Chains A and B, each alone.
Chain A
Amino acid sequence: MTDFSLTTFSSKGKLLQIEYALLAASKGETAIGLKARNGVVLAVEKQPPNPLVDETSYTKIQNIAGHVGAVYAGLAPDFRVLLQKARKHAQVYQLRYREPVLCSNLCRETAQIVQEFTQSGGVRPFGVSVLTAGYDDDGPHLYQIDPSGAYYEWKATAIGRNTKNAKSFLEKRYKADLELEDAIQTTLLTLKEGFEGTMTAKNIEVGIVKSDMVFRTLTEAQIKDYLDESA
């Protein structure tokens, strides 16, 4: 049962399972990524499905390594799988080369795994789009990995429900020499655009990485400061 692929070409030459996986990912909560001159920002909506959920029990923005973080849009369980594989790859690289893994290498390998699940027997594609933000010897990087296994480096991008509007919003505001502090503000503004309800420090997450090569998530208090500044 597991020796034939479930993702096969349709008579029109399409890989429909991948398209459906992209659809599943595009229904997820919006996430934004923005690369500044001196760092990268990730931000994501965090509205639990039900008011009884303890929102402190989970974080959507996760570290892959000390200098790289990631966020997703789509099926959370699928993201956990990719996260684990990416984390392992980062550690293996570090052990072998005595250097933090290059973002391009990390994303290429993760995207390779995503592609394998669109071709291997007995599995379905991953239903998540992933944004990775990192700072390595080559500087700041923002990558997007799609359920098809395609990956691109972006200056600014969005994934999830509000992709289209968020990306046009970002296109208007992106500048090549943006400083990280301004990038954070722009990211928050973009997230606010498509937000259902009132955006507060409690229902979003923000992660940043600068030249110190430490990817960290902002605390609620820090997010609140940024939101108050822009108000």
Chain B
Amino acid sequence: MSRGGGGHEYQITVFSPEGKLFQVEYAFKAVKTSGLTSVATKGKDIAVVCTEKKVTDLLIDPSSVSNIYNITDTIGALTTGITPDAKAIISRLRMEAADYKFENGHTIPIDILSQRWADLAQLYTQKMFMRPLGVETMLVSIDDERGSQIYKIDPSGHFLGYKACTAGIKEVEASNYLAKQFKKKEDLHTTYSDNETIQLAIGTLQNVLSTDFKSTDIEVGIISRREKKFRKLTPLEIEEHLNALSSKD
């Protein structure tokens, strides 16, 4: 028993001799098995989530394939990772939001929702009854007091607010690309217009995936001060943004 986990530190969430939690690290790897990359950006009056849309089989109804969900009217979610795990999370988030509204009379603030989910995720890393879920969840919303917000919760139970964030197989490349944009304009997350923010998200994906998208290759969700409800962009709107991006180059 000199290894201290009995050799089980790979299978359940006990510490390894190096002080690591292997199951959590493996959960992060599982996020990448979906093969997709996701980006979230925010601007002055808008928060945007954007991800690839890969329909693996021609016989699948493409309208049923999506990683973008409404949690409430004003909070949107984008999941990256194992789809069944993602659906479990979304169900739970919707339930938490509804319970909060019932008990407190107002929509759950996005940071409270994020913390609620992060605390559950932490539970799975400490107790043996459930494995960590292989999903990174991005939540976006607009708050009257704090403006546009992006939160990301990962399998370890960490959650943070972001100026922009990425997840998935090319998350590092996308993150580097966004960091460069921030170097050019430090406050873009508080000044960018709606269109600039949407095009930043789409542009980041295009850049790291080195492909020219058709409007059906990606899905984009937005919550803006103007529209006040989280919704997905139609293929026509996506087309307009793609055209705007290509004319900029």
Binding site for B on A (CB under 8 A): 1-2, 6, 8-12, 14, 16-17, 19-27, 48, 50-54, 56-58, 75-78, 80-81, 84, 117, 122-127
Near A by CB (< 8 A), chain B positions 108-165 give: 111, 115, 118-119, 121-122, 125-129, 149-151, 156-158, 160-165
Q: Mark B16-53, 1 if CB is under 8 A from A, else 0.
A: 11111100000000000000000000000000000000
Contact A124 B111 (CB under 8 A): no
B178 at the interface (CB under 8 A from A): yes
Q: Which of B127, B166, B179 has its CB near the most chain A CB atoms (within 10 A)?
A: B127
Enumerate chain A residues within 8 angstroms of B62, measured Cβ to Cβ: none
Whose C-beta in chain B lies nearest to the C-beta of A117? B126
- Chosen A-B contacts, 6 in total, with CB atoms closer than 8 Å, are A52-B164, A52-B166, A58-B161, A78-B157, A123-B127, A124-B14
Given A19-B4, A127-B15, A24 and B163 contact (CB-CB distance below 8 Å): no
Enumerate chain B residues within 8 angstroms of A78, measured Cβ to Cβ: 122, 126, 157
Enumerate chain A residues within 8 angstroms of B175, measured Cβ to Cβ: 50, 52
Enumerate chain A residues within 8 angstroms of B2, measured Cβ to Cβ: 10-12, 16
B235 at the interface (CB under 8 A from A): no
In the assembled complex, the CB of B96 is this many whole angstroms from the nearest CB of chain A, namely: 16
Contact B20 A6 (CB under 8 A): no
Given A6-B128, A125-B15, A20 and B156 contact (CB-CB distance below 8 Å): no
Given A17-B15, A52-B164, A80 and B115 contact (CB-CB distance below 8 Å): yes
B102 at the interface (CB under 8 A from A): no
Whose C-beta in chain B lies nearest to the C-beta of A24? B19
Contact A2 B160 (CB under 8 A): no
Contact A57 B111 (CB under 8 A): yes
Q: How far is the CA of A229 from the CA of B179 in the complex (A)?
A: 33
Enumerate chain A residues within 8 angstroms of B161, measured Cβ to Cβ: 53-54, 56-58
B12 at the interface (CB under 8 A from A): yes
Q: How far is the CA of A126 from the CA of B127 in the complex (A)?
A: 11
Q: How far is the CA of A58 from the CA of B111 in the complex (A)?
A: 10
Contact B182 A52 (CB under 8 A): yes
In the assembled complex, the CB of B150 is this many whole angstroms from the nearest CB of chain A, namely: 8
Q: Which of A2, A9, A22, A50 has its CB near the most chain B CB atoms (within 10 A)?
A: A50
Enumerate chain B residues within 8 angstroms of A12, measured Cβ to Cβ: 2
Contact B165 A1 (CB under 8 A): no
Contact A123 B19 (CB under 8 A): no
Whose C-beta in chain A lies nearest to the C-beta of B111? A57
Q: How many residues of B contact A (CB 8 A)?
A: 46
Contact A77 B118 (CB under 8 A): yes
Q: How far is the CA of A10 from the CA of B2 in the complex (A)?
A: 6
Whose C-beta in chain B lies nearest to the C-beta of A15? B4
Enumerate chain A residues within 8 angstroms of B158, measured Cβ to Cβ: 76-77
Q: Which of A1, A2, A57 contacts B151 (CB 8 A)?
A: A57
In the assembled complex, the CB of A154 is this many whole angstroms from the nearest CB of chain B, namely: 23
Q: How far is the CA of A9 from the CA of B6 in the complex (A)?
A: 11
Q: How far is the CA of A154 from the CA of B124 in the complex (A)?
A: 33
Enumerate chain B residues within 8 angstroms of A122, measured Cβ to Cβ: 127-129
Q: Which of A23, A52, A80 contacts B19 (CB 8 A)?
A: A23
Apart from A1-B128, A78-B126, 13 more pairs, CB < 8 Å:
A16-B2, A17-B5, A26-B19, A51-B182, A53-B160, A54-B162, A77-B119, A80-B119, A84-B119, A122-B127, A122-B128, A123-B127, A126-B126
Enumerate chain B residues within 8 angstroms of A50, measured Cβ to Cβ: 175
Contact B14 A53 (CB under 8 A): no
Contact B126 A10 (CB under 8 A): no
Enumerate chain A residues within 8 angstroms of B17, measured Cβ to Cβ: 16, 20
B59 at the interface (CB under 8 A from A): no
Contact A53 B163 (CB under 8 A): yes
Whose C-beta in chain B lies nearest to the C-beta of A58? B160
Contact B118 A80 (CB under 8 A): yes
Enumerate chain A residues within 8 angstroms of B166, measured Cβ to Cβ: 52
B1 at the interface (CB under 8 A from A): yes
